[in-house]
Structure formats: C-alpha cells, structure tokens
Structure 1
C-alpha cells in the first residue's frame, strides 16, 4: 500500500467525518452521511492495520472512529455500578492473576533486603562505604524517627502517596523492558537493607521494624504488585504463548496492567494515610504494628477471595465489547 497516496485519497472523507462527529446536532441527511463515513473510516482503519500499520495514522483513525461511534450511539454514561464492579471484580482479578509474578518479586526482594541487612550487621564497616560517621549517628539518634513526624499528617500523607505512586509507576512501566524494574527494586532493597542493618547494629532494630511495619507491609506489597505486573507485561512480548502474536499478547497484558495501576492508586493512598497518621502517632508500637498487619492481611484476603471468585465466574478484565476493536464494523 502506498500510504501517502491512500491518505491523500481519503483525507477529505476523514475531515468531513471529524467535522460531523464534533457537531452537537445534525440533520437527518447529515446523520446518514455520518454513518456512511463512519463505516468507511472503520474499513480504512482495518486496511491500514493489516497492510501498512503506521502508528500515527492508526492512532488518528482509531480516535476518529471512536469519536464517530460515540456521536452515533452516544458516549457511555458514568455509572457507579462500573466503579463498584472495578473494585469488586476486575481489579482484584487482575492482581490475583498476576500473583505468581508479584509473590516472586516479594520473595526475592525480601531475601536480598534481609541478606544485605545481615551482612551489614556482621560487617559494620560496610556502612562506612555509603555514609560517614556523622550521618550514621544522626540517623540512629534522631533522623529515622524524626522523618515520620517532620511534616503535618495530611502533608506527609500526600507526600508519601505521591512518592510511592511514582515508584510503583516506575516499577510497572519499567517491567516492559525487564531490566529497569530490577534496578529500581535493587536500589530500594539496598536502601532498606543498609538502613535496617545500621539501626540493628546500634541497638535500634526495634525502632526500625516498629516504625516501618505499620505502613510498610501494605506499601511494599503495592510496589511488589506493580513490579510483578510490569514484569508480566514485559514477558508477554518475549513469550506470547500459542495462538497469539507478540503485539496482541503485549496489549492484553498491558490492559490488565492499567487496571492494576488504577487500583494501586487507592491502595497507596491507604498506605500513605497509615504512614502519615498512624506511624507517628502516640499509640504503643505493638498496637500500630497490629493495625498495619490487619490492613495488610485485609488487602491480601480481598485480592484472594474476590479475585478467585471472579476467576471462577469467568469475569473478563478485557475492554467491554462496545469499546473493543472487534466492535468496529466494516463495510
């Protein structure tokens, strides 16, 4: 296919379709024209995809066809039922399906972190390679504890929520190329292991674990889920499986990844609230740790129970039929 010639031949029709799709009201004749042009543009989209899949042109025609379809059928209205279905079915299902990936990430991350921690405890001089004596003294005596009460609770919650969302997004997006997410995870394991090792060496291990557990269990699990799903997306284009092209396998995995990303925004907000309000509170350490553990176990139960139930019912995490490519008619 000569793409330039094809665009030149049909660009006038596409401009007319775009014009009609943007109008709030059309006459009967214009409505008929809109339907006809919509069907032609859908055919053009199919032809371009199969013969000369130029990304920019495919994106332009996809947007145009979707806008025209919404103009003909009406854009889907907001529904709380859809929101409810997301949190009770599609999000827990997407996380549940990816559990081998994020549980493997959690296991390896924990082994590396505790391995670094134990090595620093056994070899205290290792910490000197990363921090000077003044920094270590300040961290052990005041900085680690003071970090959690440095800002007002609501400000700390927003700050932590934003930072953790960025970290999780890096893990999820970096998983497509596999190596970047491993680097991000190792850097965080090194930071936690080094800090924990220093705190334990100076007899402050109870403070370290006591302050990190109330929010850290849920926070790290969200990061593990993001990293695991990201690696699953990356693996989809390496091993797409039978009867699927690499492109289709990648798209299917990425769609589930987007569902997980949206759900993790709420999970990370909860962990941010725990870190902003619970961790620096005056409650006894054991009480704070118990609350954090209950919230964490509640999230795991939520994923396993609702995700498994959705799996058994055959719930799909794919796009609704009216939004999928297969719904585009061809003339």
Structure 2
C-alpha cells in the first residue's frame, strides 16, 4: 500500500472527521456525517495496519478515530461532580423504593420478637432450657448491660458485625430465602434475650439498652433485607423487561443502597459505642438514638420522595453503568 497516496486521497475526509469530533454542537445531519466518516476512517485504519503494520500515519489516524468515538459515545463526567448528585438524588431514591417492604419487615420482626419473648418468659420450663438459673440471672443482671462498653474499639466491632449481616442480605438476596432467614433469626434471638430479661423483671433494662442504638441499627438491617428481596422479586417477576435487564437494574440500585447502609450502620455503631453504655439519663440516650433514626428517615422518605418525583430510580446513570447509545449534543 502506498501510504503517501492514501494520505493525499483521504486527508480531506480525515480532517473533516477531526473537525466534527471537536465540534461542541452537532446537528442531526452532522451526527450522521460523523458516523459515516468514522466508519470510513476505521476501514482505512484497518487497511493500513493489515498492509503496513504500525506506522506514524496509522497512529495519527487512531487518535482521530478515538476522538470521534469518544464524541459519539458521550464524554465522561467528572466523578467529583457526580458525588453531590449521588447523595442528593440517587441514594435517597434507591432507599425510598424500599419503604413499604422495609415497613413490612419491621412489623414482622417486632411481632415475632415480642411473641417469642412473651411465650418463652411465661413458661418456666422453656426458660430452663436456656441455661441454669444462675447463668440466666448473671446474663440478665450483668452480662447484658456489660456488653455495651463505651469506646471506639467496640463501635468498630459493632459496625463490622452489623455490616456483615447487611452484606449477607445483599449478597444472597437473589435467593429470596436468606434475607428471610436473617430476619427470622434476629427476631427470635431478640425474643429469647427479651424472655430472659422479662423472667428476671429486667424488661425495662432491655428496652432502655436497645432503644438508643437499636432504632437505627434495626432499621438499617430491615432496609438491607428489603433490598435483597427486591432483587429476588426483580428476578422472579421481571415485568416487560427481560429477566437479565430487570435483575441488572435491581442489582445496580442495590449497589447504591449498600453505600447508604454503610453510612447508617456507621452512625448506629457510633451511638452504640459512645452513647448506649454511658451512665447518662435514659431520656438523653434515647433522644440521641431517636434523632439518629429521624435523620435517616427524613433522608429516606422526604428527600427520597423529592428525588423520585424528579425521575430518579436509584439506578446508575448511563455514564456509570456503561452504554452503547449514541447521542448528539
């Protein structure tokens, strides 16, 4: 192949391709021309590489073609500029979608825990199966409250444990079984602990110890279970989309939700690590816990509703998820 002859014959077309790819505003006709010239230049580059291998002309044309491809598929957005949009729109919208499922899970958990606690505490034979009287008394009068030791190490341990529970709900949510298992297991464990405390007339200690951090902590776990079940439902009932498209969309929204859960569990861990174990008046500790929950609920329900009305779904944008769509502008 005579590269000089090819350069002379195609220079005008390549220059026009470069001009179009650098233009900020393209009309519909310009986009059509850009696509045509992009394909022609790609064919020329293929011929050059096939006949002459790597050459200076080929490298120069590759740069022009890359710029044209970038123009057709969309310019990348600044990641730093995406952060405000993520927290103002995407994350609250993703959480808002889970509101009713979260409520159902919360009511079911509280109901199962309460019934388990009342049923077991009312039957001495069932209480006896949990351990000796001395062991249970030690747990009710000392171990339960001694668990909440103020400090950063404890807060970090709590955060890690709760994040792991939430992660399991997320990772295995597509099964539809694991989130239910986690919620049932936590509800029954809470009921058993409540039964022991009630059996030794320490029900008030149970409530006052759980409320400061438990309000937000349990809500976060409920949201994690709800997110996992939504992925399962998207797989089972994809609607008008293909099963793969429905599952991919739900999975991307779930990835958004995970970030919110990491932050909310971090906040509940701070409350549990630095507030629950303090010798402050119960009203002060519960008020702090209620305030932490209120912040989360306002973000989820109020900000989430506003974001949803603006068309957000919690899914990633085309830039973040990747898209083959060509557009002009």
Question: TM-score normalised by the shorter chain: which range applies?
Answer: 0.7 to 0.9
Paired position in structure 1 for 2:24 = none
Give distance in 2, aligned partners of 1:175 and 1:129: 33
Which consecutive residues of structure 2, in runs of 5 or more, have no partner in the other structure?
1-54
Paired position in structure 2 for 1:129 = 129
Q: Deviation at 1:73?
A: 8.0
SS at match of 1:326: coil
Correspondence for 1:327 among 312, 324, 328: 324
Q: Is the 8 A contact 1:321 1:327 kept in 2?
A: no
Paired position in structure 2 for 1:252 = 249
Give distance in 1, aligned partners of 2:169 and 2:235: 17
Paired position in structure 1 for 2:98 = 98
Give distance in 2, aligned partners of 1:313 and 1:147: 45
Paired position in structure 2 for 1:230 = 228
Structure 2 residue 120 is matched with structure 1 residue 115: no
- Give the paired residue count: 272
Q: Normalized against structure 2, the TM-score is what?
A: 0.76
Q: Is the 8 A contact 1:121 1:200 kept in 2?
A: yes
Paired position in structure 2 for 1:78 = 79
Q: Is the 8 A contact 2:77 2:319 kept in 1?
A: no
After TM superposition, list the pairs within 5 Å mapping 1:176-255 onto structure 2.
176-241=174-239, 243-255=240-252
Q: Is the 8 A contact 1:124 1:198 kept in 2?
A: no
Q: Is the 8 A contact 1:218 1:296 kept in 2?
A: yes
RMSD (Å), alpha carbons: 2.7
Paired position in structure 2 for 1:165 = 163
Structure 2 residue 315 is matched with structure 1 residue 314: no
After TM superposition, list the pairs within 5 Å mapping 1:290-301 onto structure 2.
290-301=287-298
Give distance in 2, aligned partners of 1:27 and 1:109: 68
SS at match of 1:314: coil
Paired position in structure 1 for 2:46 = none
Q: Deviation at 1:173?
A: 2.0
Paired position in structure 2 for 1:145 = 145
Which consecutive residues of structure 1, in runs of 5 or more, have no partner in the other structure?
1-25, 40-67
Larger Rg: 2
Sort the Cα spacing of 1:298 and 1:197 in 2 relative to 1 into closer, same or farther, 3 A. Answer: same
Q: Normalized against structure 1, the TM-score is what?
A: 0.75
